Structure 1
């Protein structure tokens, strides 16, 4: 939120690929700005780093391009070439380019995450956001960082930092200590999340009519379901469906979009449960879809 207050004026626009982290909307609106959504699709793997699509959204009010890498809610990990495209567009149009990299440790292809901060020719444009809450599963510690070489932006950020109450001292001490953990910690965490991702992804592939792309990072995935409305389906699962007393809950996809009518049949899955629980959840989802369509598609 401090970053948005530091770079936006009333009427400013921020280009963000959708689906996106819903709180971006709150942060940007509170600073007087609006989101200019770059719509993606399940069929296209939710990829968005295309020059022509980015430039089509730029106008005199555009202030920044912002994205999560790895993605929440899609799990998309940008390639070096895709980041270069975004960097070039931002530089040519004098825009900030903001990479929210709070899931940077969770990439499952074995490669190192490419970051918007690696391009020295956009030092004045690039901003990186990071956080201890996702990296160390310390969600109660609301501590993060904003990284930029832009001196003017640094000064503006410091004004807001000095005007706000600080984070609790104990949280600061504990968070600093977390950075001393051995790299083996992340190796084990990545291995576990990859297992959970594979479990959900492979189970979803078995469900007729589901469209899903394998996420490369974070611990989320989006999927399009063969239902008319995922929110209505979710309510039905909670009120009218169970299997031996069990049901399943997910995040309906519409809330991750700014464009009205988008994401109606999509869901976000957070694969943060144990493998056996995820297996059961995907089985319940498959059974729920079957029974829902038997009773609602006549």
Structure 2
């Protein structure tokens, strides 16, 4: 029988999606599944983006430019300027989602057996993209008790070797919701400049910051133009996950010219989705103001209700729409599957994401789950109540 590649065998399974078969089986049996497991917002996509696709007059759906359309990249540069990030269209490559942007970045800067340092827990697909490129993830542990703040710079520095090519962060963080401060970004900037490595920042949740705290991009930091690479996407910003439009942004011309070669191999990003994404840039600020207010309410409800449950601890997020909760059990993988297979409250159950899959260090996160607070308020309250009752039954 033909063999499977070693790369394929070591490709990690998504902790977010691996429980889908159990959820689908529950739904077939008439169970309503409340999804706390995936960052799919229920917020409406801006109508201006949907109308741009509906009303276009394209007669031939041609390839777009490899790096993305000129008009979209020019408008993206203007969007960044409004956020005090000063780049030009030539510093931007439009990609098929933020995922492809990250893949292009890793492929452009790292060879097989090279290393990327990532604070854990981290977005699980960072493992997948690294594995696909034969690159090793070197985790540095962040602490639940500090809401997953940046680990001490000394912890990063002692992990840097001749194989280290980059430090990768997500800001605000998935799965933690932590928002790195300007001071933390500046510490990382000094470190990558000192060791002549890259700093990659996944900033797809830039708009979602709370409690009066502003996002600070690595592209706002002086002196690291050659080191800084930003990964971005329209998926969460405009509730357009299905559009699959992202971008890679860097002022490093060599990285751009290298990434273009990867982009040429996949030909071009999707045309209709670029039309929608370009139109979405005209979304009024009121849209974001309303969305942020809604997420703050949801976050506060979630944390307040979870903290009422005996034995549950919750990290307090300052951005994105995720939080990590510690449960008074040993194995949340087993618990998450049991919820879908065996537990019901009024014919409803909950789907959560076991957090161990967001760690690279074996054994960490086994008693944690990631919750995405993307449900409307009443559904969120019901979901937490189900968790409360489920823990009583599961422990009992």
Aligned equivalents of 1:49 and 1:120: distance in 2? 22
- Does the 8 Å CA contact 2:167/2:198 hold for their aligned counterparts? yes
- Does the 8 Å CA contact 1:132/1:138 hold for their aligned counterparts? yes
CA offset digits 1:184-210 (Å, max 9, x no partner): 110011111111111111111111111
Give the corresponding residue for 1:111. 213
Given candidates 334, 337, 350, the residue that maps to 1:248 is: 350
Given candidates 152, 168, 173, the residue that maps to 1:66 is: 168
- The alignment partner of 1:14 has SS state of strand
Q: Does 1:161 align with 2:263?
A: yes
Measured on the aligned residues, the alpha-carbon RMSD in Å equals 1.1
Give the corresponding residue for 2:227. 125
Pairwise CA distance, 1:88: 0.9
CA offset digits 1:126-171 (Å, max 9, x no partner): 1111111111010111111111111111110111112213222111
Q: Does 1:177 align with 2:279?
A: yes
- The alignment partner of 2:330 has SS state of coil
Give the corresponding residue for 2:381. 279
Given candidates 184, 191, 211, the residue that maps to 1:82 is: 184
CA offset digits 1:227-273 (Å, max 9, x no partner): 11111111222222212222211000111111111110100001111
Q: Does 1:203 align with 2:342?
A: no
Given candidates 229, 240, 247, the residue that maps to 1:138 is: 240
Stretches of structure 1 lacking an aligned partner (at least 5 in a row): none
More off after superposition, 229-238 vs 273-282: 229-238
Stretches of structure 2 lacking an aligned partner (at least 5 in a row): 1-102
The normalised TM-score by structure 2 is 0.73
Q: Does 1:228 align with 2:228?
A: no
Pairwise CA distance, 1:71: 0.3
Aligned equivalents of 2:337 and 2:112: distance in 1? 38
Q: Does 1:11 align with 2:113?
A: yes
- Does the 8 Å CA contact 2:150/2:180 hold for their aligned counterparts? no
